[in-house]
Amino acid sequence: MTRFPTWWPTSGLWRHSDFMNLWAAQAIRAFGSRISRTALPMAALLTIGAEPWQIGVLAALSMAPGVLVGLFLGGLIDRNAKRPLLILCDLLRAALLLTVPLAAWFDLLSMVQLYIVAAGMGALTTLFQIADNTYLPALIGRKSLTEGNARLEATDAIAEIGGPSLAGVLVQLLSAPFALLADAFTYLISAVFLFRIKARESPEQVIERRRGIWSDLRAGIDVCLAEPVVRTLFWVAALEAFFGGFTYGGLYMVFVIDTLVISPATYGTLVALGDIGALVGAFLVMRVARW
């Protein structure tokens, strides 16, 4: 049993050691993911001198494989243990990112490689997010789910503010390809914290019944269309991802850095300032949920 210091809070999930490991993994990974989200297109723009349309293709490739993973592999993820999959996704993402500074060191970095890295990161991140969302209720129970989600969302909101600023500074100091080293390191640390989780999913938590991919896809679409709340959230998420991809996936960075000639560090600060509202919302979620 994990021993906590005497000064450690005693209420809620503060003494749930497995959740604390999951939370620590999410916190370090949240900051790291903002680094790659910023540094990967900057590597194309500043290191390779990519055209705006190439930045757009890079943004599309970072999302399209994730859509396919979500559509066709969601059921498969749901029927298998989540923790080993989470660890594997972290390790594979770290390995993918490490190829970028390695190629840059030998002056071999190309847009083709960045396309492959973006597509792989998009697919693995979606795979991770699906497994992570279904793992949390199994780990802490549904009674603690609102508290757990609130803490994870608050951490994510803080990372959304601090991560882009950190990414901009790292790009300016180290160059974009080598800034990705920091992100690769965060995924390795995240995998270590996930490995420290002692709880294992029980047989009833891992659905054994086998179904085909097309059956999973049809069942998922049926749920999305049949439930009014889920249907609304589905379309909100789809529209947000589509139009958000236009702005932050391609146009915004090109406009700020190329047209306005603003430094990477200042660009990161601008992005961070736009996410302060997310932090306020995360802190209000418990009160709003009770209301």
| Nearest CA-CA partner of 167 in 255, 28, 36, 5 | 36
Structural domain boundaries of the chain? Answer: 16-201+210-290
Please determine, for residue 67, whether its predicted confidence score (pLDDT) is greater than 80: no
Best-predicted range by mean pLDDT (92-96, 225-229, 263-267): 92-96
The per-residue pLDDT for 186 is 93
Domain 16-201+210-290 has CATH 1.20.1250.20: yes
Write out the H or E segment, with its range, that includes residue 33.
Answer: helix 17-42
DSSP 275: T
Q: Which residue has better confidence, 75 or 107?
A: 107
Q: 91 falls in which pLDDT band (50, 70, 90)? A: very high
Residue 230 has pLDDT above 70, yes or no: yes
Contact between residue 126 and residue 70 where contact means Cβ atoms under 8 Å apart? yes
Q: Are 132 and 82 in contact (CB under 8 A)?
A: yes
**Closest by Cα among 158, 159, 177 to 106:** 177
User: Do residues 163 and 271 touch, judged by C-beta distance below 8 A?
Assistant: no
- Tell me how crowded residue 247 is: count the other CB atoms within 10 A of its CB: 12
- For range 7-25, the mean pLDDT: 75
Q: Could you give the count of Cα atoms lying within 13 Å of 183 in the half-sphere of its Cβ?
A: 35
Q: Which residue has the higher pLDDT, 236 or 276?
A: 236
For residue 120, which amino acid is it? G
Q: What is the average pLDDT across 55-70?
A: 78
Phi, psi (rounded to 5 degrees) for 211: -135, 160
Whole-number Å distance between alpha carbons of 33 and 37: 6
Q: Which residues contact 124 (CB under 8 A, 6 or more apart)?
A: 89, 92, 93, 96
Q: In whole angstroms, what is the distance from residue 95 CA to residue 184 CA?
A: 7
Residue 200: which residues within 8 A CB-CB, separation 6 or more?
Answer: 81, 83
pLDDT score of 244: 65
- pLDDT at residue 2 greater than cutoff 60: no
pLDDT, tens only, 146-182 = 788 888 877 887 787 778 888 888 888 888 899 999 8
Calpha distance 47→180 (Å, rounded)? 13
pLDDT band at 131 (very low <50, low <70, confident <90, very high): confident
Mean pLDDT of 179-196: 93
DSSP class per residue in 178-232: HHHHHHHHHHHHHHHHHHT------TTTS------HHHHHHHHHHHHHHSHHHHH
Q: Is the dihedral of CA 255, 260, 261, 267 positive or negative?
A: negative
Taking CA atoms, 85 is separated from 72, 181, 277, in Å, by: 16, 23, 32
pTM over 0.95: no
Q: Which residues contact 51 (CB under 8 A, 6 or more apart)?
A: none
